[in-house]
Amino acid sequence: MLGSQVIAELLKREGVEQIFCFPMTPILEALTEAGVRLIVARQERVAGNMADGFSRTSCGDRIGVVTVQQGPGAENAFAGIAHAYTDSSPILFLPGHPGRDQAGVPPTFGSLENYRATTKWADRVPSAAAIPGRMARAFTALRSGRPGPVLLEIPVDVAEEEFRGRLEYRPVPAVRTGPDPAAVREAVRLLLAARRPLIWAGQGIFYAKASRELEQVAEQLAAPVMTSLQGKSSFDETHPLALGTTGYSQTDMVGEQLASSDALLVIGSSLTRSLFAPAIPGDGRMLIHATLDWKDLNKDYRADVPILGDAKLVLEQMLEEIARQSGKGKRDERRRSVEAGIGKLRKAWQARWAGKLKSSQVPINPYRVIGELRQALDPASAIVTHDSGSPRDQIAPLYEAVTPRGYLGWGNSTQLGFSLGAAMGAKLAAPDKLVVTFMGDAAFGMVGMDLETAVRSQIPILVLVLNNSAMGGYEQYIPKAAIEGRAKFLSGNYSQVARGLGAYAERVEDPEAVQAALQRGIAATREGNPALLEFITCEETDIAKR
């Protein structure tokens, strides 16, 4: 066997059924011979975004793999891998390399050297004989600890080198780390003693497969649950204890409960200070922070009880400890009272936004599209994602997700256009789901040609483009450049582009026509066709601000 054939065989043993790529790498021939499906994107960045969406939707059970050509291919892929790194998404990146004798020789671009800062682990395969060991280390890193992208650089001569000896390799299992029982015991004591405990859940809940345990702990503590943007859908947002999500925008329920809580359990989140996370009020509330990565602890906030461990194992121990420390009857009474309070807040919140969601404004108000989308689909059988900027800030607080990974929230990196590739990867991971991405015209302009990838590869996603011919929000930072210099204004007919690429497409200008267009777009995806609906919208500046 050649080195490239060994790589293909080991990927198959690890459950890899397709590879995202563009357009030539040292292992493509071997992958094709091995029966691995090639998903060829129009650009390397989108290939990486597809792998990212696949891994996120699979919650790490199946790993998205992307391979690109040495040199320019590896250079062009950088944005996609960097995005996976900032959002802690486990993808395997297999770039080529000109050859071992060119390693470290200018001007050769070495992925190993250049990607070290944006990968969880990076290495160059030194020989065909070393492939099994390097692959085992790569999948160990992908399946254990904090998720993140892993890089294995494949020199051309290693791919062409003969592998000698017997190929002995078995798939790598995930390794989970349990918490300190004493820390869990103290955390539960503080939470039970609190008058208004609150849970902040992040995307670690998905990778630990801990949504059920999260719900049980919330109910036992009578604690409301808010999710980070990346953790959105880890907790059923129609549950009586659900507050919804927080990001650059958030629900009123989150704001009120965060301000009034006296004990906060943060689990599965890095608790990083950013534009996309609310600040924790510094007025003496108790903070319990449970995370998988020690680097998150005491980083931006000092935890009263730091807990290191897998979110599912932490929550399971908490349930046992709650049963030991408290009586059920009192908890039930408290839960009813908490749920009633949240119900009142939710009703007021829904009433505040009802007018926007039913607006008859022309050009179409983007909130009308959100309102119609909520009626058009079943959230239990759909996966919805957003793009950067206004589409994210508008839909994230108002769309109610009910199943784990029924919504792909992202945002530590805010690269315009990420959602198109992510939606395609999500559809490949969950072919039975309706996958919808909510994009602006600027985002689609970045990556729109890859709609042809969805057509050619038969990946039937629904793309909703809000076309207001502008990039919103920039005038507050660059007022003269944005308006006088026209730096914020765009143009284009994206339904014509989509039709030219082979997708089902419509351009919608009447708010009363939105629902029917959505139904036709959904029907097109059920027939196996990608669909794009372009809504001509106003520039809506109102968002649910923190």
Confidence of residue 284 (pLDDT cuts 50, 70, 90): confident
CATH, domain range 358-536: 3.40.50.970
Q: Average pLDDT, stretch 529-538?
A: 98
What CATH number matches the domain at 181-346, 3.40.50.1220, 3.30.930.10, 3.40.50.150, 3.50.50.60? 3.40.50.1220
Two tokens, residue 289: 């922070």
Q: Give the least confident one: 219-228, 346-355, 380-389, 464-473.
A: 464-473
Q: Give the least confident one: 86-100, 323-337, 359-373, 487-501.
A: 323-337
What is residue 67's predicted lDDT score, i.e. its pLDDT?
A: 98
Q: Are 203 and 269 in contact (CB under 8 A)?
A: yes
What is residue 328's predicted lDDT score, i.e. its pLDDT?
A: 63
Q: Average pLDDT, stretch 482-488?
A: 87
Two tokens, residue 116: 């070290």
- Is domain 3-160 given the CATH code 3.30.1360.200 in the classification? no
Q: Which residue has the higher pLDDT, 111 or 275?
A: 111
Measured distance CA(73)–CA(368) in Å, rounded: 41
Average pLDDT, the chain: 95
Domain positions in the chain:
3-160, 181-346, 358-536
Two tokens, residue 459: 């990946």
What is residue 330's predicted lDDT score, i.e. its pLDDT?
A: 67
What is residue 414's predicted lDDT score, i.e. its pLDDT?
A: 87
What is residue 283's predicted lDDT score, i.e. its pLDDT?
A: 76
Type of residue found at 221: L
Confidence of residue 105 (pLDDT cuts 50, 70, 90): confident
Annotate 199-221 with three-state secondary structure: EEECCHHHHHCCHHHHHHHHHHH
Measured distance CA(176)–CA(173) in Å, rounded: 10
Q: Is the pLDDT of residue 372 over 70?
A: yes
Confidence of residue 251 (pLDDT cuts 50, 70, 90): very high
Q: Is the pLDDT of residue 278 over 90?
A: no
Q: Average pLDDT, stretch 248-261?
A: 94
Q: Give the least confident one: 98-107, 207-216, 260-269, 381-390.
A: 98-107
> Residue 179, SS3?
coil
Q: Could you write out the DSSP letters of every residue in 149-203? A: -EEEEEEHHHHHSBP-S-----PPPP---PPPHHHHHHHHHHHHH-SSEEEEE-T
Confidence of residue 329 (pLDDT cuts 50, 70, 90): low
What is residue 448's predicted lDDT score, i.e. its pLDDT?
A: 97
What is residue 277's predicted lDDT score, i.e. its pLDDT?
A: 85
Q: Give the least confident one: 65-74, 138-147, 228-237, 537-546.
A: 537-546
Measured distance CA(310)–CA(75) in Å, rounded: 34
